[in-house]
Amino acid sequence: MIINQETIVKDNDPKIREKSYPVNLPLSEEDKKLMEDLYTYVKESIDPEIAEEKNLRPAVGISAIQVGINKQMCAIVCSDIDKNGNEVNYEYCLVNPRIISSSVQQAFLSNGEGCLSVEEDHKGYVYRSARIKVKAYDALTNKEITIRAHGFLAIVLQHEIDHFSGTLYYDHISKNDPFQKIDDAIEI
């Protein structure tokens, strides 16, 4: 499957708001190929030369619904800084991820969020749980895993999992005060 800026489902298409469904395990050959294509998109999108050549918008994650397939599958490739100031890289090909616990404390990206399916900029803070625990099957390692995430990774996971219910990041932005500050929220 060719995934590029032309083939990604945009937010003006009602398909992006459709619910995604759990995937049967073990993965079918078709689902393995889909996951490989999603993962390849994210990996290649962060290389400026490949991104320009293939018309890819830089991304840290992509969900299957963004290519028009209603399956609970997403690929994530991102890095963050740990509590000791070291860079940590994360790569996941998640199938049926679900949040099993989340913190009351909120976090947000100071520059706001973006999405491959959203071409128009929506300014404002998107508040999400600062810490989450996710259970999923990871197609990269072929194992059931539990991810304890905080900071940027927690936000990326919640963003991608939101796609499974048809929710886009700007649905979380306050209409009355897009830059409203929440006490005790962590700014990332």
pLDDT score of 140: 96
28 Cβ contact list (under 8 Å, min separation 6): none
Q: Where in the sequence is the domain holding 73, given as residue range(s)? A: 14-187
| Residue at 7 is within a domain | no
| Residue at 115 is within a domain | yes
Mean pLDDT rounded to a whole number for the chain: 96
User: What confidence tier does 37 reach under pLDDT thresholds 50, 70, 90?
Assistant: very high
Q: Which of 56, 47, 134, 54 is nearest to 94 (CA)?
A: 134
Neighbours of 101 (CB within 10 A): 11
- pLDDT of 160 strictly over 90: yes
Among 6, 52, 119, 160, the active-site one is 160
| Residue at 182 is within a domain | yes
pLDDT score of 85: 87
- pLDDT of 67 strictly over 90: yes
| Residue at 2 is within a domain | no
| Residue at 31 is within a domain | yes
According to DSSP, the residues that pair with 107 across neighbouring strands are: 128, 186
CATH number at residue 77: 3.90.45.10
| Residue at 6 is within a domain | no
Q: Model confidence over 101-140: pLDDT tens digits?
A: 999 999 999 999 999 999 999 999 999 999 999 999 999 9
Distance of alpha carbon 128 from the chain centroid: 13
Known catalytic residue at 53: no
CA distances from 132 to 54, 59, 135, 155 (A): 34, 21, 10, 9
Neighbours of 37 (CB within 10 A): 16
Instruction: Please give the sequence-ordered ranges of beta strands (E in DSSP) within the chain, or none if there are none.
Output: 61-63, 73-81, 87-102, 106-108, 128-129, 131-138, 143-150, 186-187
User: What confidence tier does 97 reach under pLDDT thresholds 50, 70, 90?
Assistant: very high
Which two structure tokens, joined as six digits, stand for 167? 């929710």
User: What confidence tier does 164 reach under pLDDT thresholds 50, 70, 90?
Assistant: very high
Identify whether the C-beta of residue 125 lies closer than 8 Å to the C-beta of residue 179: yes
Judged on CB neighbours under 10 Å (0-12, 13-18, 19+), 167 is middle
How many domains does the structure of the chain reveal?
1
User: What confidence tier does 82 reach under pLDDT thresholds 50, 70, 90?
Assistant: confident
Rounded to an integer, what distance in angstroms lies between the CA atom of residue 167 and that of residue 182?
21
- pLDDT of 81 strictly over 90: no
| Residue at 8 is within a domain | no
Rounded to an integer, what distance in angstroms lies between the CA atom of residue 76 and that of residue 82?
18
| Residue at 3 is within a domain | no
